[in-house]
Structure 1
Amino acid sequence: MLALVAGFVNAIGLLGFNHQPISHLSGTATLIGTEIADGSLTHVFHLVMVVISFLVGAAISGFVLRSGALKLGRHYSKLLFIEALCLFAATYLLTQNSEYGLYLASAACGLQNAMVTTFSGAVIRTTHVTGIFTDLGIMIGAKFRGEVFDKRKATLFLLIISGFIAGGTLGATVFAIYQFKALLIPAMICLSLAISYSIYTAKAGHATNHK
C-alpha cells in the first residue's frame, strides 16, 4: 500500500510539474545539474528546495524512530498520520497554485522512505523501485550460480513493484479528471493506515499484557 501511495504521488508529480519526480531524488538531482548548466538559478532553487523537503521528511522519521528496526510500536502510526497531513496540505496548496505543495509532497515521500528503511533495516524502499529491481537481479544471478532462491523475499519485492506501478496507473487516471485534488486519495490511504496500525498495536499490546 505504501508503494502504491508513492507511485500515485510520483505520477502526479510527473504529470503536473514538468515531468518532475517527487518520490525519489535521482531525477531531481539530475535536473539540478542540467539547470545549473543552463544557468537557470530560479529553477535550481526550486529543485534544491524539493531535495531539502525530502531530507526534512526523512529527518522527521529519523527523530521519531529512535529505536532499532522491526519493533512494534505507535511511532509508525504517528509518522503515517504526519504523512497524511503533509499530503492533505499539499493538495490544498497545489490547488491554489502554490509550489509549497510540491515541497510538502516531497517531504511526505522522504518521511515514508525513511520510515520503511528503518523498519526493514535498510532492506526495503517503497518510494522508488531501482534498488528492488537491483536486488531481484542479484537474487536471479545467484540462483543461476546454484544458491537458494528466497521466494518469500522475491514475492515481497514483486508486490512492492506491482504496488508502485498500480499507484502510478491510478494516479495518472485520477489526475486526468481531478488534477491536484487526486492527492486526496493517497492522503486518505495514509490516514487509514495510521488508524489501522494504531488499532493493531493496541490489540497486540492488550494481548501481550494478558499473557
Structure 2
Amino acid sequence: MLIQGKDERTLKANLMLASSTALVAGIVNVAGVIAFLAFTTNITGHVALLARKVSAQDVGEIITVGVWLLMFFMGAFVSHFLVRSFDRESTYKAHALPILTEMVILLLVAIYGNHFFDGNDLEREIIIGAILFSMGLQNSLVSTISGGLIKSSHLTGLFTDVGADVAEWIHPHTAKTELVRNRLYVRFTVLGFYFIGAVAGGFFFELYNFKVFYFIPIILLTILYYDIRGVVFNKLRRKFAAGTDTK
C-alpha cells in the first residue's frame, strides 16, 4: 500500500489504501462527534463555525477554532514535508512516517481519553486539535501518494469526483476506459468504508467509549505491516542470494 509511488500504483494498492484509511476516518469522525460534538476529520464545518464566531465577536472561540484549522493544516504540511524529505532514501519510509505519527497520536488520545479525560473544555479542545492534526497527516499522505485519487475523509470533494466520473462513464461520447472504471472502484470504496467506519464508530463508542480509539492504531498498523513484510522478505532474499554467490 505504501511502497509504491503515485506513478506506480496498482488498483489493488489503491483499493487497500482507500478502504483502510476511509475506515479510520469514518470511525474517528463519528467517535469525535459523539465524544466532543465536533467534526474531527475535516474542516468544512469548522470554517463555517469560525465565521459564526467572528460575527458574534467571540474572541475565545475564534482562537480555538482558528487553532483547530491550523492543526489540520500543520498535519498536512508535516505529512508532505516528511514524504519529500525521505522519498529519495526510501519510498516506504517516506510514506510510513506520517502513518506512524498518526498512529502514535491516536494511541495517545485513546490512553488519555480512557484514563485521564474528565470532560473539561480545555481538554476537549486539545484532543480535537490533536485528532485534526492526525487527520491532516492522513489526508495529505493518501492524496499525495495516490496522485489526488484517494480522499479518505473529504466527502464533499469525493462526491463531486464521483458525480463527474459517473457522468464520464455513462456519457455516450466517452470510451469506457479502464482508467475511469478504476477511479470509480476506488471512490466507491472510500464511500463504502467511510460509512462502515462511521456506523462501527458510533455503535462501539456507545459500548466502549474511548476504548474505540485503541482499535484505530491497529488498523494503521496493518497498513504498515502489509508492505514491510515484502521489504523484509526482499532484503533477506537478497542477503541469502549474496551469501550463496560467494560460496
Q: Aligned-pair distance for 1:203?
A: 3.3
1:80 maps to which of 99, 120, 123? 99
From the superposition, tell whether residues 144 and 101 of structure 1 become closer, same or farther in structure 2 (CA, over 3 Å): same
RMSD of equivalent CA atoms: 2.3
Q: Aligned-pair distance for 1:198?
A: 2.2
From the superposition, tell whether residues 34 and 208 of structure 1 become closer, same or farther in structure 2 (CA, over 3 Å): farther
**Contact 1:88 1:187 (C-alpha < 8 Å) held by counterparts:** yes
3-state SS in 2 of match to 1:74: helix
Task: Indicate whether 1:186 and 2:213 are aligned.
Answer: no
**Contact 2:46 2:69 (C-alpha < 8 Å) held by counterparts:** yes
Q: Deviations over 1:38-92 (max 9, x none)?
A: 2322222221221111112112211111177xx8422222221111101011223
Runs of 4+ in 1 over 6 A off after TM superposition: 207-210
| Stretch deviating more after TM superposition (160-169 or 41-50) | 41-50
| Stretch deviating more after TM superposition (184-193 or 168-177) | 184-193
Q: Name the structure 1 match of 2:151.
A: 125
2:48 maps to which of 22, 30, 39? 30
**Contact 2:150 2:190 (C-alpha < 8 Å) held by counterparts:** no
From the superposition, tell whether residues 53 and 186 of structure 1 become closer, same or farther in structure 2 (CA, over 3 Å): same
- Work out the CA distance in 2 between the residues paired with 1:206 and 1:25: 44
1:151 maps to which of 166, 169, 181? 181
Task: Indicate whether 1:169 and 2:188 are aligned.
Answer: no
Matches within 5 A, 1:10-159: 10-18=29-37, 20-66=38-84, 72-95=91-114, 96=117, 97=119, 98-99=123-124, 100-142=126-168, 143-149=170-176, 150-159=180-189
- Work out the CA distance in 2 between the residues paired with 1:207 and 1:117: 32
> Normalising to structure 1: TM-score of the pair?
0.88
> Normalising to structure 2: TM-score of the pair?
0.76
3-state SS in 2 of match to 1:146: coil
| Stretch deviating more after TM superposition (169-178 or 99-108) | 99-108
- Work out the CA distance in 1 between the residues paired with 2:173 and 2:159: 20
Partner letter of residue 124 of structure 1?
Answer: I
**Contact 2:150 2:186 (C-alpha < 8 Å) held by counterparts:** no
- Work out the CA distance in 1 between the residues paired with 2:211 and 2:224: 21
Q: Deviations over 1:123-173 (max 9, x none)?
A: 221122222221121122223242124222211111111011111011101
1:201 maps to which of 223, 231, 237? 231
Number of matched pairs: 208
Task: Indicate whether 1:3 and 2:60 are aligned.
Answer: no
Q: Which runs of 5+ in 2 are unaligned?
A: 1-19, 242-247
- Work out the CA distance in 1 between the residues paired with 2:161 and 2:172: 15
Partner letter of residue 90 of structure 1?
Answer: V
Partner letter of residue 196 of structure 1?
Answer: Y
